[in-house]
Chains A and B, each alone.
Chain A
Amino acid sequence: MKKILGILLTLVVLFGLTAALGDGFLGAYNQEKLLERTALFGILGIGVAFVIITGGIDLSIGSVVCLVGCGLPWLLVKQEWSPAFALAVVVLVSASIGLIHGLLITKLKLQPFVVTLCGLLVYRGITRGFTEDQSQGFEGGFGSLRQVVTEKIPVMGGFGIPWTWVILVLVAVVAGIFLNKTIYGRYLRALGSNEEAARFSGINTDRMVILSYVVCSLLAGLGGVLFVMDVGSAQPSDFGNFYELYAIAAAVLGGCSLRGGQGTVVGVVIGAAVMQVLKNMINLVTWIPTHIEFAVVGAVILVAVVADELVKRTVATRRARKSS
Chain B
Amino acid sequence: MLLEVREVTKSFPGVLALRGVDLTLGRGEVLAVLGENGAGKSTLMKILAGVQAADEGTFFLEGKTVRIDSVRAAMAVGIALIHQELNLAENLEIAANIFLGRELRRFGLLDDETMREEAAKYLAMVGLEVDAAMEVGMLPIGKQQLVEIAKALSVDAQVLIMDEPTSSLSQTEAEQLFVVIKDLVSRGVSIIYISHRLSEIGQIADRVMVLRDGENAGELMGAEINHQAMVQLMVGRDLDRFYQRSQHALGEVRMEVHGLRTAAYPDHETSFQLAAGEVVGVAGLVGAGRSEILEALFGVVPALGGEVWINGQLVRISSPQEAIAAGLALVPEDRKTQGAILDMSILENISLASLRRDARGGAFLNLEAENELAQEGIKNLSISTPGVEQYVRYLSGGNQQKVVLAKWLVMKPQVLLLDEPTRGIDVGAKEEIYGLIEALAQQGMAILFVSSELEEVMGLSDRVLVMHEGAFSGELGGDECTEERIMSLATGDATILETTKA
Q: Point out the residue from A182, A199, A321, A323 that lies within 8 Å of B365, measured CB to CB.
A: A182
Query: Given A181-B364, A193-B342, A201-B407: A324 and B352 within 8 A (CB)?
Result: no
A190 cross-chain contacts in B, Cβ below 8 A: 341, 344, 348, 352
B338 cross-chain contacts in A, Cβ below 8 A: 196-197, 200
Q: A199-215: which residues lie under 8 A (CB-CB) from chain B?
A: 199-204
A301 interfacial by beta-carbon distance below 8 Å: no
A182 to B363, CA, bound (A): 5
A200 cross-chain contacts in B, Cβ below 8 A: 298, 300, 320, 330, 332, 338-339
B319 cross-chain contacts in A, Cβ below 8 A: 204
A190 to B355, CA, bound (A): 12
Contact between chains at B385 and A323 (CB < 8 Å): yes
Q: Is the interface of B mostly helix, strand, loop or mixed?
A: loop
Chain B 387-417 per-residue mask, 1 if CB under 8 angstroms from chain A, else 0: 0001100110000000000010000000000
Contact between chains at A322 and B386 (CB < 8 Å): yes
Max chain B CB contacts within 10 Å: which of A183, A204, A317?
Answer: A183
Contact between chains at B363 and A184 (CB < 8 Å): yes
Contact between chains at B394 and A320 (CB < 8 Å): yes
Query: Given A183-B364, A321-B13, A321-B14: A202 and B359 within 8 A (CB)?
Result: no
A317 to B364, CA, bound (A): 33
Contact between chains at A193 and B320 (CB < 8 Å): no
Query: Given A200-B332, A204-B319: A189 and B344 within 8 A (CB)?
Result: yes
A198 interfacial by beta-carbon distance below 8 Å: yes
A109 interfacial by beta-carbon distance below 8 Å: no
Nearest chain A CB to B318's CB is how many angstroms away?
12
Contact between chains at B320 and A199 (CB < 8 Å): yes
A181 to B300, CA, bound (A): 28
A190 to B351, CA, bound (A): 11
A187 to B354, CA, bound (A): 12
B330 cross-chain contacts in A, Cβ below 8 A: 200
A3 interfacial by beta-carbon distance below 8 Å: no
Q: A139-175: which residues lie under 8 A (CB-CB) from chain B?
A: none
Query: Given A183-B364, A186-B365: A323 and B342 within 8 A (CB)?
Result: no
Q: B277-324: which residues lie under 8 A (CB-CB) from chain A?
A: 298, 300, 319-321, 323-324
B12 interfacial by beta-carbon distance below 8 Å: yes
A319 interfacial by beta-carbon distance below 8 Å: yes
Q: Name the interface size band of chain A.
A: 20 to 34
B495 interfacial by beta-carbon distance below 8 Å: no
B493 interfacial by beta-carbon distance below 8 Å: no
B355 cross-chain contacts in A, Cβ below 8 A: 183, 186-187
Contact between chains at A201 and B344 (CB < 8 Å): no
Which residue of chain B is the closest to A189 with respect to CB atoms? Answer: B344
Contact between chains at B390 and A323 (CB < 8 Å): yes
A261 interfacial by beta-carbon distance below 8 Å: yes
Contact between chains at A202 and B320 (CB < 8 Å): yes
A82 interfacial by beta-carbon distance below 8 Å: no
Chain B 200-232 per-residue mask, 1 if CB under 8 angstroms from chain A, else 0: 000000000000000000000000000000000
Nearest chain B CB to A118's CB is how many angstroms away?
26
Chain B 328-347 per-residue mask, 1 if CB under 8 angstroms from chain A, else 0: 00101000011111111000
B394 cross-chain contacts in A, Cβ below 8 A: 319-320, 322-324
Nearest chain B CB to A201's CB is how many angstroms away?
5
Nearest chain A CB to B484's CB is how many angstroms away?
35
Query: Given A202-B324, A319-B391, A324-B12: A197 and B365 within 8 A (CB)?
Result: no
Which residue of chain B is the closest to A324 with respect to CB atoms? Answer: B15
B321 cross-chain contacts in A, Cβ below 8 A: 202-204
Contact between chains at B348 and A186 (CB < 8 Å): yes
Contact between chains at A183 and B14 (CB < 8 Å): no
Contact between chains at B364 and A182 (CB < 8 Å): yes
Q: B351-401: which residues lie under 8 A (CB-CB) from chain A?
A: 352-353, 355-356, 359, 363-365, 385-386, 390-391, 394-395
Q: Point out the residue from B337, B352, B359 that lies within 8 Å of A203, measured CB to CB.
A: B352
A182 cross-chain contacts in B, Cβ below 8 A: 359, 363-365
Contact between chains at B337 and A181 (CB < 8 Å): no
B12 cross-chain contacts in A, Cβ below 8 A: 321, 324
Which residue of chain A is the closest to B324 with respect to CB atoms? Answer: A202
Max chain B CB contacts within 10 Å: which of A199, A201, A204?
Answer: A201
Residues of B in contact with A (beta carbons under 8 Å apart): 12-15, 298, 300, 319-321, 323-324, 330, 332, 337-344, 348, 352-353, 355-356, 359, 363-365, 385-386, 390-391, 394-395, 407
Across the A-B interface, the 6 shortest Cβ-Cβ residue pairs: A323-B394, A183-B355, A202-B324, A202-B320, A201-B352, A194-B341
26 CB contacts below 8 A, A to B, read A182-B359, A182-B363, A186-B352, A186-B355, A193-B341, A194-B341, A194-B343, A199-B300, A199-B320, A200-B298, A200-B320, A200-B338, A201-B320, A201-B352, A201-B353, A201-B407, A202-B320, A202-B323, A202-B324, A202-B356, A204-B319, A261-B343, A319-B391, A320-B394, A322-B394, A324-B14
List 7 additional contacts besides A198-B352, A203-B320, A204-B321; criterion CB under 8 Å: A193-B341, A194-B341, A198-B341, A200-B332, A201-B320, A322-B14, A324-B394
